[in-house]
Amino acid sequence: MGLSEIKTVRTPMMTLLAGGQCRPVQAFHWQLLLLAMILMIVIVPRSVAGQTEDIHATVHYLITYVKESDVTFERNTSRYSGSEAAQHIDKKYQHFKDDIDTPEKFIELCATGSLMTGKPYFIITEEGEQLPSGEWLNTELQSYRLRNNPTGP
Protein backbone atom coordinates (compact mmCIF):
# COMPACT_ATOMS: atom_id res chain seq x y z
CA MET A 1 0.00 0.00 0.00
CA GLY A 2 1.56 3.34 -1.03
CA LEU A 3 1.24 6.72 0.65
CA SER A 4 -1.36 7.81 -1.85
CA GLU A 5 -3.53 4.91 -0.80
CA ILE A 6 -3.58 5.81 2.94
CA LYS A 7 -6.90 7.31 3.88
CA THR A 8 -7.30 9.88 6.61
CA VAL A 9 -10.47 9.59 8.62
CA ARG A 10 -11.90 13.00 9.34
CA THR A 11 -14.09 13.37 12.38
CA PRO A 12 -16.33 16.36 13.13
CA MET A 13 -13.86 17.38 15.88
CA MET A 14 -10.98 17.39 13.39
CA THR A 15 -12.99 19.56 11.07
CA LEU A 16 -13.88 21.96 13.91
CA LEU A 17 -10.29 22.19 15.18
CA ALA A 18 -9.00 22.78 11.67
CA GLY A 19 -11.02 25.95 11.35
CA GLY A 20 -14.04 24.44 9.69
CA GLN A 21 -12.01 22.99 6.86
CA CYS A 22 -11.95 19.29 6.38
CA ARG A 23 -8.30 18.47 6.98
CA PRO A 24 -6.55 16.29 9.50
CA VAL A 25 -5.71 17.61 12.97
CA GLN A 26 -2.05 16.80 12.29
CA ALA A 27 -1.85 19.65 9.75
CA PHE A 28 -3.48 21.95 12.28
CA HIS A 29 -0.89 20.99 14.90
CA TRP A 30 1.92 21.96 12.52
CA GLN A 31 0.29 25.35 12.02
CA LEU A 32 0.08 25.87 15.78
CA LEU A 33 3.69 24.79 16.20
CA LEU A 34 4.82 27.19 13.48
CA LEU A 35 2.83 30.04 15.05
CA ALA A 36 4.31 29.28 18.49
CA MET A 37 7.84 29.27 17.07
CA ILE A 38 7.28 32.61 15.32
CA LEU A 39 5.94 34.14 18.52
CA MET A 40 8.93 32.86 20.50
CA ILE A 41 11.34 34.29 17.94
CA VAL A 42 9.64 37.69 18.13
CA ILE A 43 8.68 37.97 21.82
CA VAL A 44 11.43 36.20 23.80
CA PRO A 45 14.40 38.23 22.46
CA ARG A 46 12.54 41.46 23.19
CA SER A 47 11.88 40.53 26.81
CA VAL A 48 15.46 39.34 27.31
CA ALA A 49 16.82 42.49 25.63
CA GLY A 50 14.70 44.67 27.92
CA GLN A 51 15.99 42.82 30.95
CA THR A 52 19.59 43.15 29.76
CA GLU A 53 19.16 46.87 29.19
CA ASP A 54 17.85 47.28 32.75
CA ILE A 55 20.85 45.41 34.18
CA HIS A 56 23.32 47.44 32.17
CA ALA A 57 21.54 50.70 33.01
CA THR A 58 21.72 49.83 36.71
CA VAL A 59 25.40 48.89 36.42
CA HIS A 60 26.09 52.17 34.62
CA TYR A 61 24.32 54.02 37.43
CA LEU A 62 26.44 52.26 40.07
CA ILE A 63 29.69 53.04 38.22
CA THR A 64 28.63 56.69 37.95
CA TYR A 65 27.72 56.67 41.66
CA VAL A 66 31.24 55.47 42.49
CA LYS A 67 32.78 58.05 40.16
CA GLU A 68 30.86 60.96 41.68
CA SER A 69 31.21 59.85 45.31
CA ASP A 70 33.19 61.74 47.91
CA VAL A 71 34.66 58.60 49.44
CA THR A 72 38.15 57.17 49.13
CA PHE A 73 38.53 53.65 47.81
CA GLU A 74 41.08 51.28 49.23
CA ARG A 75 42.21 48.54 46.89
CA ASN A 76 45.15 46.30 47.80
CA THR A 77 46.21 48.79 50.52
CA SER A 78 46.39 51.68 48.00
CA ARG A 79 43.89 54.53 48.06
CA TYR A 80 42.04 55.93 45.06
CA SER A 81 39.52 58.64 44.26
CA GLY A 82 36.00 57.78 43.19
CA SER A 83 36.92 58.54 39.58
CA GLU A 84 39.93 56.21 39.67
CA ALA A 85 37.91 53.48 41.39
CA ALA A 86 35.13 53.82 38.80
CA GLN A 87 37.66 53.37 35.98
CA HIS A 88 38.98 50.20 37.60
CA ILE A 89 35.49 48.83 38.30
CA ASP A 90 34.39 49.60 34.74
CA LYS A 91 37.45 47.82 33.36
CA LYS A 92 36.52 44.73 35.39
CA TYR A 93 32.91 45.09 34.23
CA GLN A 94 33.99 45.09 30.58
CA HIS A 95 35.97 41.91 31.26
CA PHE A 96 33.12 40.10 33.07
CA LYS A 97 30.15 41.59 31.17
CA ASP A 98 29.09 38.24 29.68
CA ASP A 99 29.05 36.62 33.14
CA ILE A 100 26.92 39.33 34.75
CA ASP A 101 23.18 38.75 34.80
CA THR A 102 22.23 40.85 37.85
CA PRO A 103 23.50 44.05 39.45
CA GLU A 104 24.42 41.97 42.51
CA LYS A 105 26.65 39.79 40.35
CA PHE A 106 28.28 42.97 38.99
CA ILE A 107 29.04 44.11 42.54
CA GLU A 108 30.35 40.67 43.48
CA LEU A 109 32.66 40.31 40.46
CA CYS A 110 33.76 43.90 39.95
CA ALA A 111 33.51 45.91 43.14
CA THR A 112 34.07 43.77 46.24
CA GLY A 113 37.67 42.70 46.05
CA SER A 114 40.77 41.79 44.12
CA LEU A 115 40.64 38.55 42.21
CA MET A 116 44.45 38.57 42.08
CA THR A 117 45.21 39.02 45.79
CA GLY A 118 41.88 38.02 47.34
CA LYS A 119 41.88 41.22 49.41
CA PRO A 120 38.55 43.01 49.84
CA TYR A 121 37.97 46.56 48.62
CA PHE A 122 36.93 49.19 51.17
CA ILE A 123 35.52 52.68 51.05
CA ILE A 124 36.54 55.32 53.54
CA THR A 125 33.97 58.02 54.18
CA GLU A 126 34.80 61.68 54.79
CA GLU A 127 34.23 60.94 58.50
CA GLY A 128 36.90 58.22 58.38
CA GLU A 129 34.52 55.26 58.60
CA GLN A 130 35.74 52.20 56.69
CA LEU A 131 33.15 49.92 55.04
CA PRO A 132 33.43 46.98 52.65
CA SER A 133 32.79 48.40 49.18
CA GLY A 134 30.33 45.63 48.30
CA GLU A 135 28.20 46.44 51.34
CA TRP A 136 28.30 50.15 50.46
CA LEU A 137 27.30 49.53 46.83
CA ASN A 138 24.57 47.02 47.73
CA THR A 139 23.03 49.62 50.05
CA GLU A 140 23.03 52.13 47.20
CA LEU A 141 21.59 49.53 44.83
CA GLN A 142 18.63 49.01 47.19
CA SER A 143 18.09 52.79 47.42
CA TYR A 144 18.28 53.08 43.63
CA ARG A 145 15.68 50.34 43.21
CA LEU A 146 13.32 51.98 45.71
CA ARG A 147 13.62 55.32 43.91
CA ASN A 148 13.04 53.77 40.50
CA ASN A 149 10.39 51.20 41.42
CA PRO A 150 8.68 52.35 44.63
CA THR A 151 5.78 49.87 44.25
CA GLY A 152 8.07 46.82 44.18
CA PRO A 153 8.97 44.26 41.51
Spans of all domains in the chain: 49-148
- Residue numbers of the chain with a pLDDT score lower than 70: 1-40, 42-53, 150-153
pTM beyond 0.85, yes or no? no
Angstrom distance (rounded) from CA 5 to CA 126:
88
What is the pLDDT, as a whole number, of residue 142?
96
Angstrom distance (rounded) from CA 21 to CA 18:
6
What is the pLDDT, as a whole number, of residue 41?
73
- Decide the pairing of beta strands 78-80 and 130-132: unpaired
